[in-house]
């Protein structure tokens, strides 16, 4: 069973879903938690990526963390008891991830965590809580990078539960090069290659905080004097911009092009052809890096540390002056970072992460190695 529910999960799970769905030796169930439910946040990706309809939609929608988590657990538990899957595969760090993992493992059903071992070391982020929790209750952990493997080992996770797979989002990008090329999103939005900045923001700690959101809006207004800005707006952010009265500040600037969330191929094209990316998204930091576009990240920590280490990304928090100065620095010298990015080694694998994960998962299942049971420990060591 694969459980997904938010936009980036549909994308990162897609290559694995495709492999499982067409495998004659696998009985496969896809569950959608319904955490994301707008057409632009979910269904559009099923269409673009040609994914099968989910077996069930838990229809949880929005709500507080406890509400979302509890609803997913209650509704998934019922399906788990009815369908008795051999393993539940969860992705990333959303409430859908942690809630599904908890419901499964407490029903004695093994959990496989894809995108394991990432850390921001910031427990104010709901995603950090979800990651740590999910990693520590999973029976197999698919780590996208070497650093993620090392982190899991540092946290005392047994080595034989960890598998360095590479990153499935990288697989997804590679398999859609032509679709990225084909979209007409630049024409639709009236921008040309390398003349615009593409912006996304949805982190709760940025957009639910009036001061942080104001800083971001003021930075965009300032930057719009220098560059065109394309801003596909996440529904959480749209709600807050309206609630705090900042929406019109953006809407009235000629150089700021606001849009609904765009499709996956459109987003990748916007990232690829932008002069720079300004974001607080996890996935988009990585996509910018892979597509060779410099990224400025409106956070103080990132779990995708390779993007920083290799010179493709910089952290600026929700600090207006830092946002403006770092974006301007890139705009004034874009080729410098682009050249550097072309030369660095890709830390996200070889584009076969999904294949490796499916093969490994089937092998572990075949060997009876996935069990919610006793962990190997020498109790005597603690007593003596
Ligand atoms: C969630 C994930 C986050 C991930 C993001 C991807 C958690 C804790 N957060 O954050 O890790 O980066 O998804 O985009 O799981 N809404 C709609 N329509 C939708 C979806 C959301 O209107 O289709 C609105 C609702 O008002 C909802 C709010 O956005 O309450 C927030 O949605 P939610 O799924 O709770 O959190 P995200 O910010 O999307
Ligand atoms: N994305 C998209 N359209 C948009 C914004 C994002 O297709 O308007 C894609 C993006 O290319 C990436 C994923 O959604 O693959 C990232 O999702 P998001 O930023 O919502 O979540 P995060 O990665 O921060 O969890």
pLDDT digits (tens, 9 = 90+) for 91-110: 999 999 999 999 999 999 99
Per-residue pLDDT tens over the stretch 164-182: 999 999 999 999 999 999 9
Mean per-residue pLDDT of the chain? 97
pLDDT value at 377 more than 90: no
Alpha carbon distance 367, 38 (integer Å): 41
pLDDT: which is higher, 114 or 384: 114
Mutate which of 12, 93, 94 for ligand 1? The one with the most ligand atoms within 8 Å of its CB, which is: 94
pLDDT value at 378 more than 90: no
Nearest bound ligand to the CA of residue 202 = 1
Q: What angle do CA 258, 239, 125 make, to 5 degrees?
A: 105
Beta carbon of 261 within 6 Å of any ligand 2 atom: yes
List, in order, residues 6 or more apart from 63 with CB less than 8 Å away: 71
pLDDT value at 339 more than 90: no
- Dig out the tokens for 232 from the structure: 């596909």
The per-residue pLDDT for 106 is: 98
The per-residue pLDDT for 52 is: 98
pLDDT value at 190 more than 90: yes
Active site residue 202: yes
pLDDT value at 288 more than 90: yes
Contact 260, 235 (CB under 8 A): no
Place of tokens 């946290």: 155
The per-residue pLDDT for 376 is: 83
CA of 36 to the centre of ligand 1 (A): 6
pLDDT value at 132 more than 90: yes
The per-residue pLDDT for 131 is: 98
The per-residue pLDDT for 384 is: 83
Q: Report the pLDDT averaged over residues 44-70.
A: 97
Contact 290, 306 (CB under 8 A): no
Nearest bound ligand to the CA of residue 280 = 2
The CA distances from residue 142 to 116, 161, 234, 337, in Å, are: 6, 9, 28, 30
The per-residue pLDDT for 74 is: 98
CA of 9 to the centre of ligand 2 (A): 9
Alpha carbon distance 307, 295 (integer Å): 9
Beta bridge pairs of residue 259: 232
Q: Report the pLDDT averaged over residues 201-230.
A: 98
pLDDT value at 269 more than 90: yes
Beta carbon of 41 within 6 Å of any ligand 1 atom: yes
Q: How confident is the model at residue 293 (pLDDT cuts 50, 70, 90)?
A: very high
pLDDT value at 285 more than 90: yes
Beta bridge pairs of residue 276: 197
Atom of ligand 1 nearest to the CA of 42: 23
Q: Report the pLDDT averaged over residues 313-319.
A: 98
List, in order, residues 6 or more apart from 103 with CB less than 8 Å away: 72, 73, 76, 77, 80
Q: Report the pLDDT averaged over residues 37-64.
A: 97
- Dig out the tokens for 125 from the structure: 């982020």
Beta carbon of 180 within 6 Å of any ligand 2 atom: no
Q: Report the pLDDT averaged over residues 344-356.
A: 96
Q: Report the pLDDT averaged over residues 302-313.
A: 96
Residue nearest to atom 25 of ligand 2 (CA): 282
The share of the chain scoring above pLDDT 90, in percent, equals 94
Phi, psi of 80 (to 5 degrees): -60, -40
User: Coil, strand, or helix at residue 140?
Assistant: strand
Contact 41, 235 (CB under 8 A): yes
Beta carbon of 8 within 6 Å of any ligand 1 atom: yes
């Amino acid at each position: 069973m694969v459980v997904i529910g938010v936009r980036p999960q549909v994308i990162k799970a897609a290559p694995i879903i495709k492999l499982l769905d067409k495998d004659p030796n696998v009985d496969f169930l896809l569950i959608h938690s319904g955490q994301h439910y707008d057409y632009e946040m979910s269904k559009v990706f099923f269409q673009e990526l040609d994914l099968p309809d989910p077996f069930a939609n838990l229809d949880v929608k929005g709500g507080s963390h406890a509400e979302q988590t509890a609803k997913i657990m209650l509704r998934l538990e019922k399906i788990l008891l009815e369908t008795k899957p051999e393993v539940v595969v969860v992705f990333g760090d959303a409430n859908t991830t942690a809630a599904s993992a908890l419901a499964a493992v407490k029903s004695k059903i093994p959990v496989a965590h894809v995108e394991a071992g990432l850390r921001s070391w910031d427990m104010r982020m709901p995603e950090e809580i979800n990651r740590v929790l999910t990693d520590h209750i999973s029976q197999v952990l698919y780590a996208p990078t070497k650093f993620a493997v090392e982190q899991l080992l540092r946290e005392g996770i047994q080595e034989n539960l960890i598998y360095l797979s590479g990153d499935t989002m990288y697989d997804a990008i590679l398999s859609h090069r032509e679709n990225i090329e084909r979209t007409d999103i630049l024409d639709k939005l009236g921008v040309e290659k390398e003349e615009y900045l593409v912006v996304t923001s949805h982190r709760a700690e940025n957009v639910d905080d009036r001061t942080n959101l104001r800083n971001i809006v003021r930075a965009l207004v300032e930057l719009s004097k220098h560059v065109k800005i394309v801003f596909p707006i996440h529904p959480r952010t749209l709600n807050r911009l309206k609630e705090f009265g900042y929406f019109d500040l953006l809407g009235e600037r000629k150089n700021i092009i606001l849009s609904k969330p765009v499709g996956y191929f459109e987003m990748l094209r916007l990232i690829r052809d932008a002069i720079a990316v300004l974001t607080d998204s996890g996935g988009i930091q990585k996509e910018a890096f892979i597509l060779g576009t410099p990224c400025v990240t409106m956070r103080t920590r990132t779990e995708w540390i390779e993007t920083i280490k290799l010179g493709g990304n910089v952290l600026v928090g929700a600090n207006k002056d830092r946002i403006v100065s770092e974006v301007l620095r890139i705009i004034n010298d874009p080729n410098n970072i682009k050249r550097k990015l072309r030369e660095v080694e890709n830390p996200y694998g070889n584009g076969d992460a999904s294949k490796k994960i499916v093969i490994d998962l089937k092998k572990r299942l075949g060997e009876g190695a996935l069990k919610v049971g006793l962990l190997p420990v020498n109790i005597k060591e603690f007593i003596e």
